Structure formats: structure tokens, C-alpha cells
């Protein structure tokens, strides 16, 4: 049991030394502190931008799906409303009632108003499709977002490669210390260090490029989504205003028919009373 504990303790110490060596190779000495802090900030910024653009993409996709569902449902409502309008028009045109034409005239007014409202409803659905769903769908599947995300993914892979190379440098450095004067080990250590330096340099360049691309996409996502939401609100507001005007006019016409019918009944009563 004691032997197992000693072995476990030895392994823990070895892992700790390797981690410290990797951190030293990765972050370097105090001269590289500013550069390494900048790289860490860049890495964190890329993570935030990646999460933000992914959430923005999902929200845009949710809006598109919601609008498409609204259009499908609304189109069915337009179809039902148009059928109701046509049925009312037919009844009003036939005028089969023998005791007056008040209902027939009201039915014609209703048919006309219903047809106008359904036309406006159809225009609203078209506006939702062309002004909201299509622009957002184009951005969801567009190249700028995917290209920026690919850059960020390439940066992550290069960062992982640099971390692995830092471990390799640590191992080469340990061998150089274990066998002083060994030229082959020294050359391998220098080559590993040079590769790590190149990786970190390229990683910094790629990281900045990815951050700029993702930031541009994020700004476009925010701007476009807000504009399309405003457009949707404005289109629906205009639609309801027009429908309200149609309904106000229809109500006035129906009331007039009711009043005229009432006076007609009164005149008939008076006639028969005389």
C-alpha cells in the first residue's frame, strides 16, 4: 500500500512539473507577459463573439420559422375570409327576401368590406415574407457568417496545436538538461521552439482576422434583425389601421341600413293604421 501511495505521489509531482513547464513554454518569461495577456484576451473575445453570433443566428432562424408559420396560418384565414365574402356577395345579389332588401344591402356591404380586409391581410403576409423572412433567411445561410465561424474554428485548432507544441518543447528542454552537450537534442529543442514561435505568431494573426470577421457579422446580425423586427411591427400596425378604417365604414353603412329599415317599418305601420 505504501508503495502505491509513493507511486501516486510521484505521478502527481511529475504531472505538476509538466504543467508548470508547459505554462512556462506557453507564456514565456516576464518579457512576454503583455503579449500573452493580449492573446488570452483575444481568445476570450473570440469565444464571446462565437457564442453571440451563434445565438443571433438561432434567433434569426426562430423569427423566420415563426413568420413562415404565421404566413401559412394567415393564408388559410384569407382563404376562409374570401369564401365568406363571396357567400355574402351572392346572397346580397340574389335578394330573395320578400319583406325588404335591408339584409341584402348589408350583406353586399359586408362582402365588399370583407374582401378589402382579406386583400390587406394578403398584402401583410407578402410583406412579412419579403421584408422579414427572406432577408433573415439569407443571412442565416449566408457566407459571411460561415466564413467567420470557420476562421474561429481554424484559430481554435491552431491554438490546440500550439499547446501541444508547447508540451513538445518542454520535453525537448528536459532532454537537453538531462544530457548536456548532446548536439542532436539541442537541435531538436531549437527546432521545436522555432515551430512554437511560428505557431503563436500565425495564431495571433488568424485570431485577429477571425475576431474582426465575427465582430462584423455580429454587428450586421444586430442591425438587420432589429430593422426586420421594426419593419414587421410597422407593417402590422399599418394593416390594423386600414382594417379599422374599413370596419368603421362598414359599421356606419350597416347602421344606416338598420335606421332605414326601422323607418320603413314605421311607415308601413302608419300606413296600415290609417
For 136-156, write each residue's pLDDT tens digit.
999 999 889 889 989 999 999
Grid cell listed for 211:
475576431
C-alpha dihedral over 148, 153, 157, 162, to 10 degrees?
A: 50
Residue 257: the pLDDT is 66
Please calculate the CA angle 195-198-199 and round it to the nearest 5 degrees: 85
Q: Flag whether pLDDT at 198 surpasses 60.
A: yes
Residue 31: the pLDDT is 42
More confident of the two residues 189 and 10: 189
Q: Which three cell numbers stand for residue 140?
A: 442565416
The whole-angstrom distance between residue 175's C-alpha and the CA centroid of its chain comes to 52
- pLDDT tens digits, residue range 204-231? 899 999 999 999 999 999 999 999 999 9
Q: What cell was used for 142?
A: 449566408
Q: Provide mean pLDDT across the span 167-182.
A: 84
Burial class (CB in 10 A: 0-12, 13-18, 19+), 162: buried
pLDDT, tens digit (0-9, with 9 covering 90-100), for 116-140: 999 999 999 999 999 999 999 999 9
Q: Measuring CA to CA, which residue among 123, 210, 106 is closest to residue 158?
A: 210
Among residues 26, 121, 9, which one has the least CA distance to residue 70? 121
C-alpha grid cell for residue 53? 453570433
Q: Model confidence at 266, in pLDDT bands (50, 70, 90)?
A: very low
Tell me the pLDDT of the chain averaged across its residues. Answer: 84
pTM of full prediction above 0.75: no
Give pLDDT, residue 272.
Answer: 46
Reduce the DSSP state of residue 29 to 3 states and report it. Answer: coil
Give Cβ neighbours of residue 122 (< 8 Å, ≥ 6 apart): 75, 78
- Regarding the domain with residue range 1-22+35-272, which homologous superfamily does it belong to in the CATH classification? Arfaptin homology (AH) domain/BAR domain (1.20.1270.60)
Question: How many Cβ atoms are within 10 Å of 183's Cβ, its own excluded?
Answer: 7
Query: What confidence score (pLDDT) does residue 29 get?
Result: 44
CA atoms within 13 A on the CB side of 192: 23
What pLDDT is recorded for position 30?
Answer: 39
Amino acid at each position: 500500500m505504501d508503495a502505491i501511495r509513493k507511486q501516486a505521489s510521484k505521478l502527481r509531482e511529475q504531472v505538476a512539473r509538466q504543467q508548470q513547464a508547459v505554462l512556462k513554454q506557453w507564456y514565456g518569461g516576464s518579457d512576454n507577459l503583455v503579449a500573452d495577456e493580449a492573446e488570452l484576451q483575444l481568445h476570450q473575445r473570440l469565444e464571446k463573439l462565437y457564442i453571440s453570433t451563434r445565438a443571433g443566428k438561432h434567433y434569426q432562424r426562430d423569427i423566420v420559422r415563426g413568420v413562415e408559420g404565421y404566413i401559412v396560418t394567415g393564408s388559410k384565414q384569407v382563404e376562409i375570409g374570401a369564401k365568406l365574402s363571396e357567400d355574402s356577395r351572392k346572397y346580397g345579389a340574389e335578394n330573395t327576401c320578400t319583406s325588404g332588401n335591408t339584409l341584402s344591402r348589408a350583406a353586399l356591404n359586408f362582402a365588399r368590406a370583407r374582401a378589402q380586409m382579406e386583400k390587406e391581410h394578403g398584402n401583410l403576409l407578402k410583406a412579412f415574407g419579403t421584408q422579414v423572412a427572406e432577408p433573415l433567411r439569407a443571412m442565416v445561410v449566408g457566407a459571411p457568417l460561415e466564413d467567420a465561424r470557420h476562421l474561429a474554428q481554424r484559430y481554435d485548432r491552431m491554438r490546440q496545436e500550439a499547446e501541444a507544441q508547447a508540451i513538445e518543447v518542454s520535453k525537448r528542454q528536459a532532454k537537453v538538461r538531462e544530457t548536456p552537450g548532446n548536439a542532436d537534442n539541442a537541435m531538436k529543442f531549437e527546432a521545436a521552439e522555432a515551430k512554437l514561435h511560428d505557431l503563436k505568431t500565425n495564431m495571433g494573426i488568424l485570431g485577429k482576422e477571425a475576431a474582426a470577421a465575427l465582430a462584423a457579422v455580429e454587428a450586421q446580425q444586430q442591425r438587420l434583425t432589429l430593422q426586420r423586427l421594426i419593419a414587421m411591427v410597422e407593417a402590422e400596425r399599418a394593416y390594423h389601421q386600414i382594417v379599422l378604417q374599413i370596419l368603421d365604414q362598414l359599421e356606419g353603412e350597416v347602421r344606416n341600413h338598420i335606421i332605414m329599415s326601422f323607418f320603413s317599418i314605421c311607415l308601413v305601420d302608419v300606413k296600415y293604421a290609417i
